[in-house]
Structures are given as structure tokens and as C-alpha cells.
Amino acid sequence: MGSGKGKARRARGALLGEPGGNPPPDLPPVETLLTQSDQWKQIVIPDDLISCEVELEGLDGNAGSLMGEISRGLKRAGNPVEIIDRFRRDAMSGNYEHLLAVCQAYSDGDARTDSEVAAEQQAVKDEISERQTF
């Protein structure tokens, strides 16, 4: 039996675009990729969130460690349990990149808030109503 080095070399070659490598896997439609890459824009934080400072340097990068550290930071900052639970639900609702974006949004408070989203939705509804009256 072979050592598997040939397969690894071919796979590496395909990734680097070298001839003789395996063809790249089928990719999802561009719209899907764009939607997934823009997930961080969809993060909405509570209006009453008290942002927290958390030292992540030197911390294990696994999802559980990150969520635990941010949860403890949110608690130390004085956030109620409901906000910490919402953070956990939001963090677990996507992939690892989404988790990182949620951690950043909840720790520095730099994301759209519930009231901002509600105002945006109301503006869209008002625009639709105006167009229908013509």
C-alpha cells in the first residue's frame, strides 16, 4: 500500500492550480458565498447591552473557550442573564467566523441594535406604503 503522499501532493496541486492535481470541488453559487461572508452584518445586539473588555490574547481559540470568556465578561460588566443567554444563542447560530463576529459585536458593542433594526424595518414599510398609494 502507498503512503498517501501522492494523494496529498495532487490535492495540494489542485489547490495551487498546478496541472495534474484533482479538480477543485464544486462551489456553491456566488449569492450563497456572498450571503455567508456578510453574516457579520446581520448581527444585532440588544439596546441595553453593556459592552465588556475581554483579553483574548493567549486564550485557547476553540469556540467554547471564547464563548465562556465573553459570557464571563458580559456578566462582570453587569449584563442581565437574558443578554448573556442571547449572546450564547447568537454565537451558536452559525459557523466559527460567525461566532468570532458575534463575540466581537457583544464585547465592543459595535453592531446594529434592536431599535436601529426596528427603525430600518419601519422605514422600508413606510416606503412600500408610499409606493402603493401612487
pLDDT at res. 134: 61
Across-strand partners of 93? Answer: none
Q: Which residue has the cell 467554547?
A: 64
Cα–Cα distance between 9 and 6 in angstroms, integer? 5
Residue-range domain boundaries for the chain: 5-33, 53-118
pLDDT at res. 57: 75
pLDDT at res. 33: 41
pLDDT at res. 26: 55
Averages of pLDDT over runs of 10 residues in the chain (134 residues) are 44 43 48 45 87 80 90 95 96 90 87 88 85 73
Cα–Cα distance between 112 and 105 in angstroms, integer? 9
Q: Does the pTM of the predicted model rise above 0.85?
A: no
Cα–Cα distance between 57 and 125 in angstroms, integer? 44
